[in-house]
Amino acid sequence: MQPNGLALPLLLSAMCLAAPLAQANPQEHQFEYRVRSAPAAELHMAAPTLPDLSGYTKEAVLAKIPQGSKGKVVVRRMLRQDALKDFTGGNERLREWIQRQQGMPMAIFIEGGLVTAQDIAKALPDSQFAEQEDGVYLARLPIVVAEGAALHVGKDTRELRLSQERGAFLVNDGLMFITDTRVTAWREADNGPATMRDEGKEFRPFLVSWGGSELYIASSVLTSLGYDNSKSYGVSITQYTPSMHERLKRDEPTGWLIDSEFVDHWYGFYCYEAQNVVIKGNTYRDNIVYGIDPHDRSHGLIIAENTVFGTKKKHGIIISREVNDSWIINNESYDNKLSGVVIDRSSERNLIAYNRVHGNHADGITLYESGDNLLWGNQVMRNQRHGIRIRNSENIRLYENLAALNQLTGIYGHIKDLSDTDRDLDLDPFDTKISMIIVGGTLAGNGSSPINIDSPLSVELYRVKMLAPRKSSGIQLAGILGEKQDEILDLMVRQRQPVLIDPIEPEQMTN
């Protein structure tokens, strides 16, 4: 993962520019710090084992489609349906469907077995589900796949259009398969996709897959789904709301989204309390708020080999609030409005490895209040703020990463008191503590400093190459490292030993 030519001789050459070494301005710290050698053996780590992705294919998805009993298509009122309560509860949301359907809101229900788009077209009049041209269907009512039923929108469907004017959307309470096709939120007035307008306030069709369900999307294109309303974000895999879950007791939902394209969604992907979701080989392009956004207590996720770019408001990939034990590997995330990859709000034991994160408008990789994570072999380049930023997070291990040509710092670690923000401290607690281990890798040509860390519990450095400083004064560490730069570089560069920087306890200072 390291570019050719970034070797120790160049490092020593660059180091010559730093004599005499320029120091960062000292800041006040809670403790005095010391620099000492650390045992090298404890820092050795084998490259992480990655999950086997070979089984996540379109053929494997098609093999999951249940064969046998044919389902039935019925039209019923939307009221008093568990799968629709989130969208009809309260007068305001119900009014949306009354206005769009110009009467008592109705929905299409798939029940009892497997149904295709062709089956729906045969069962219903054009006013509810129309074949506009060969293989192109327009749904003018919501479609609900009931528990125990399955819907397959496959290659015989060139495009499934969901009417924005009539309030159509997709709800999965059973099994849903979308393969070799297109699903488009459709604006009938324009005879085209329901592209985002009105800052997300306007209803747009969406897809939601509830607790106990399985959603499989392969080799397809989904366009212009979702708006700024609960569970209506775009493509979502989500447990029911707590009160509904308490009554229904559904398993955590799951699914695969593979080798597909997601464009102009409010959120390209969202999940909540989901398990073992696979997001592999997709393109997330020009989505509004986030590209990929797994949320609360989802776990066992594989986010691999995706390309995420052009997110308009926030981050390319973000996992947030106790999204644990997951893999973010071999993705490319670039040209997003804020960060390329974010690990947020107590998301722990995740592997972020071999990603290419470049040209984002804020940081490359950002960790907020999320300890016990491993970053391995990432390339983080040309981002407009820091390469890798770590806040209020302990036991962060950074191995063999490249952070180069970022506008500010290659690796930036800091603490921040969030008490005076709008953060819900019961839901999202935090500690102003930070510690990290940085082993191997290269920090080159970053704008202000290769490394800036302040007020850490501990920092360990070993075999880190620091090259090509932009400043004529040479390499300048910052924060507490800047104050101890002579000692750090002597141990790490000249003696080639691991370096431990940690605070001196008050009782040790008096002895």
Tell me, yes or no, whether 304 and 221 share the same domain.
no
What's the Cα-to-Cα distance from 326 to each of 50, 111, 197, 236, 375, rounded to whole Å?
11, 34, 34, 18, 12
Tell me the CATH number at 149. 2.160.20.10
Quickly state the pLDDT bin for 484 (edges 50, 70, 90). Answer: very high
Given this model, what pLDDT does residue 508 score?
57
Residue 2 has pLDDT above 60, yes or no: no
- Residue 440 to residue 462: CA distance in whole angstroms: 6
Element (H, E) at 476: none
State the DSSP string of 391-426.
ES--SEEEES-EEES-SSEEEEEE----TTSS--TT
Q: Which among 203, 214, 294, 218 has a CA at the least distance from the CA of 262?
A: 218
Tell me, yes or no, whether 245 and 293 share the same domain.
no
Residue 23 has pLDDT above 90, yes or no: no
Residue 14 has pLDDT above 80, yes or no: no
Residue 511 has pLDDT above 80, yes or no: no
- Region class of 259: left (phi > 0), else alpha (psi between -120 and 50), else beta: left
> In which domain, by residue range, is 222 found?
55-255
pLDDT tens across 229-287, in order?
999 999 999 999 999 999 999 999 999 999 999 999 999 999 999 999 999 999 999 99
33 within domain boundaries: no
348 within domain boundaries: yes
Whether residue 450 has a cis bond before it, omega within 30° of 0: no
41 within domain boundaries: no
Tell me, yes or no, whether 340 and 477 share the same domain.
yes
Tell me, yes or no, whether 319 and 213 share the same domain.
no
Given this model, what pLDDT does residue 469 score?
87
Tell me, yes or no, whether 68 and 187 share the same domain.
yes
274 within domain boundaries: no
Tell me, yes or no, whether 246 and 303 share the same domain.
no
pLDDT tens across 406-452, in order?
999 999 999 999 998 888 888 898 999 999 999 999 999 999 999 99
**Could you give the number of structural domains in the chain?**
2
Residue 438 β-bridge partners: 398, 461
Q: What mean pLDDT is reported for the chain?
A: 92
Contact 272, 296 (CB under 8 A): yes
Q: Pick the residue with more confidence: 29 or 50?
A: 50
Given this model, what pLDDT does residue 457 score?
96
Residue 21 has pLDDT above 60, yes or no: no
Q: Which among 279, 334, 325 has a CA at the least distance from the CA of 304?
A: 279
Contact partners, residue 228, CB within 8 Å, separation at least 6: 199, 200, 201, 266
Given this model, what pLDDT does residue 27 score?
41
Q: Please say whether the dihedral angle defined by the alpha carbons of residues 240, 242, 246 and 250, taken in this order, is positive or negative.
A: positive
Given this model, what pLDDT does residue 178 score?
99
17 within domain boundaries: no
Tell me, yes or no, whether 389 and 247 share the same domain.
no
What average pLDDT score do residues 372-391 get? 98
Tell me, yes or no, whether 333 and 210 share the same domain.
no
- Just list the catalytic residues: 295
Report residue 179 as tokens. Answer: 């393969």
Tell me, yes or no, whether 317 and 245 share the same domain.
no
Least confident interval from 364-368, 449-453, 470-474: 470-474
Residue 10 has pLDDT above 60, yes or no: no
pLDDT tens across 31-64, in order?
799 999 999 999 999 999 999 999 999 999 999 9
What average pLDDT score do residues 95-122 get? 96
Quickly state the pLDDT bin for 474 (edges 50, 70, 90). Answer: confident
Residue 370 has pLDDT above 50, yes or no: yes
- Region class of 484: left (phi > 0), else alpha (psi between -120 and 50), else beta: alpha
- Region class of 30: left (phi > 0), else alpha (psi between -120 and 50), else beta: alpha
Residue 506 has pLDDT above 70, yes or no: no
- Residue 459 to residue 474: CA distance in whole angstroms: 22
SS3 content of the chain, % helix, strand, coil (to 5): 15, 35, 50
pLDDT tens across 137-184, in order?
999 999 999 999 999 999 999 999 999 999 999 999 999 999 999 999
Tell me, yes or no, whether 386 and 439 share the same domain.
yes
Given this model, what pLDDT does residue 425 score?
87
Residue 300 has pLDDT above 90, yes or no: yes
Quickly state the pLDDT bin for 7 (edges 50, 70, 90). Answer: very low
Tell me, yes or no, whether 249 and 293 share the same domain.
no
281 within domain boundaries: no
Residue 84 has pLDDT above 60, yes or no: yes
pLDDT tens across 447-470, in order?
999 999 999 999 999 999 999 888
Quickly state the pLDDT bin for 507 (edges 50, 70, 90). Answer: low
What average pLDDT score do residues 183-188 get? 98
Tell me, yes or no, whether 135 and 251 share the same domain.
yes
What average pLDDT score do residues 341-358 get? 98
30 within domain boundaries: no
User: What is the CB neighbour count within 10 angstroms for residue 189?
Assistant: 9
Residue 104 has pLDDT above 80, yes or no: yes
Percentage of the chain exceeding pLDDT 70: 93
139 within domain boundaries: yes
What's the Cα-to-Cα distance from 47 to each of 208, 402, 404, rounded to whole Å?
37, 15, 22
Helices first, then strands: H and E counts in the chain: 9, 45
